[in-house]
Structure 1
Amino acid sequence: MSSVPMTAIRGRFLDIQNTVAQARDIHDQVRYVEDGLLLTENGKVSWFGEWQQGQHLVPEYIQVEYYPDQLIVPGFIDTHIHFPQTEMVGAYGEQLLEWLDTYTFPTEIQFSDKAYADKIAQFFVQELLKNGTTTALVFCTVHAASVNALFEAAEQHHMRLIAGKVMMDRHAPDALCDTAETAYQDSKALIEKWHGKGRNLYAITPRFAPTSTPEQLAKAGQLKAEYPDVYVHTHLSENKNEITWVKELFPEQKGYLDIYHHYGLTGSKSVFAHCVHLEEEEWDCMHDTDSAIAFCPTSNLFLGSGLFPLNKTWEKQVKVGLGTDIGAGTSFNQLQTLNEAYKVQQLQGDKLSAFESLYHATLGGAKALNLENILGNFNIGKEADFVVLNLKATALQTLRQERAKHIEDALFALFTMGDDRNIEATYIYGQKAYAQNV
């Protein structure tokens, strides 16, 4: 990657310094700098601290970008999203399996056309930036062209995306089905082309167990064995009818997760979306294999899938990140996602604090993606992806923020009332990639 210019950012900063084992420990790791300075060099954090201590480090030729009234946080991390479903957000009236047949599959067929895939990929990446999302784990379609389109769009911004071609050889329209062998060959070629190129990373992506034959899942496992550094990204235990169907299709396995585990698809770089209805032994397997969950509250509510037990992830020590799950999810925006996550917790008699919310959207998400060593906060040496937030984007927000007693209260109000209007600027690899007023 070519050298990236140095930047100097001054303003109010908030991040979580280290990953934690329990939600109660997050408060001890909160770092709030009222008047701070962030220096970036070649896309990474080179210095971070108090303005008074660091201002002499800013070279005379560098213009300091100053945000005195805003709040600067690490870039938001989306651990589960479908770029081909961008145009079908808010599709009416179905639960998961019927929704796939009625809306998703007809939409995804269009991505055999590279020009069409390019158009949606460009829109998708801009929408991520507009919403402060700087890293995402993304489903493409069965078409290799969709993967190429997405990575090409992300490369224009030096953006860190993880993505892969869907593997799907049954229970879908013929126009969307590959075979076990073609899925293997296409995925292998895409891994060789994209994984580790710039900031791009690849994910082996069987859609979910019902749409892959045992032969295809075995090929997915073969890919993982041949390329242990790549990711695995799929769905798990989203919907009760889905789980019943899976058990009928794979009677020889102990349960839904055991199918993936049997084929070598669990592990520290494996992310399973939803996991609303895991059984106890599946929680244990998630922990034992260091696999991660993508919690997708807007999607789970929209499709009526159920309430995800977030507190169980702390109890069982299972990695978890936030997912918008566009297009069953209803917003690209992680502020709105956290708003719904809070309500999901309330409905289960639990609470979700502002600082825990920030953790899941940033450093916790990085941990879920096995990227906590390079993303998620302002520690020196990490990649400089961050978001400038306007806490007073509307008249109501302004009124509410004037009553905020401290930064945690201000942050909670933002997570409850915020949307894309609150994203003033998004920086990728130290450079401004989006500004609301441009």
Structure 2
Amino acid sequence: MVGAVTPEYRALLPGALLAEPYPEARGPVRRTARDWVVDVVFFLFSVMLALLLAAYSYERGIDELRTTLDLAVGLLCCLGLWARRRWPVGLAVAVTAAGLWSATSVGAAIVAFFTVVVHRRFAVAAALGVAGFAGGFVFPLLRPEWSSDPYWVDIVWAAVVTLLILAWGLVVRARRQLVHSLRDRAHRAEAEQRLRVAQARQAERARIAREMHDVLAHRISLLSLHAGALEFRPDAPAPEVARAAGVIRASAHEALQELREVIGVLRDDPADEAPDRPQPTLADLPGLVDESRAAGMRVRLDRRVDDLAAVPVAVGRNAYRIVQEGLTNARKHAYGSTVDVIVAGAAGDGLSVEVRNPWPVGVPAGPPIPGTGTGIVGLTERATLAGGRLEHGRTAGGDFRLWAWLPWPA
């Protein structure tokens, strides 16, 4: 169909101009409104030309029976044009054969040959063009009453008409193929754009998932510890109960605030007057350690960086999340153990972060704190994306060690 994007134009090969723009039809041809207009115009053109040539034949006094028979053949060829979209080559061959004797079939022959040039390979169109040109040699011999010019003039006119139709068809063919190619490229560009958007959304969702895990796992583990303490010590003094309840309330409030902070990127139209809270940096690490100590953990912080605020924001945020996850894992799996946090490095040498605690022995008291089991995987990906590396596992001394190195540009 005219205007449809066909599979032949998907590859956009250098030899596209030699390909058939429309495959052989297999089934009913469905015409668009534009197709109907074109077909009707071509049909009326061929019919009017046949009637004019028949009237000219009658006026010249050519045998009426031969003229009537010629007109009947010409009108049959015109009716055959309605099948030109389904069998263009077969129709062109039939009309060319009829044109060896019928003068009124010339309009249908022009339309059929033009259709083949536009819709089929150049080799097929050239072969039919040669056949039509050869018909110019035969027609004056079979119908000499139609020719009042020298024989060579008829041959020249046959060659000129054939070349004009061929050139016109090739121009239309090239234009249609250009339109198809541009349309196909536009479709591909749209598909690639949708793919890039989908990939960006997927990457953003993965980043948000990592942030939610790093942030909420820490807060919720604190809530679980304090709630467990209240469960195991229901007879605790009122001040201790009030203190634990206050820590639970504060931790829940912080968890909600950080959850809002993480998923704030999902808002389609964030309010300018309510910007998102800044992400934590390495300068917030002492506060994280103090918070864990307040929850009952024994944490020792070894700072070997003079100014934590001097660490770049992106590097400091990644280091903060690594320590946060390390403390969360220690609280889950080795509660009661002493955790050592070591931060060292300098500009140009990189920043190293280490969280070390004794390997847990036995079953921890109380119900286990649930987890997804993907925290270390997320940290590894975070460090890799930042251009660093991460190691974790049991050391020869029996400790569990989480270590990461992140680039710190000079």
Shorter-normalised TM range: under 0.3
Larger Rg: 2
Report the TM-score when normalising by structure 2. Answer: 0.21
- Structure number with the higher helix fraction is 2
Instruction: Give the structure with the higher percent strand.
Output: 1
Higher normalized contact order (CA 8 Å, seq sep 6+, divided by chain length): 1
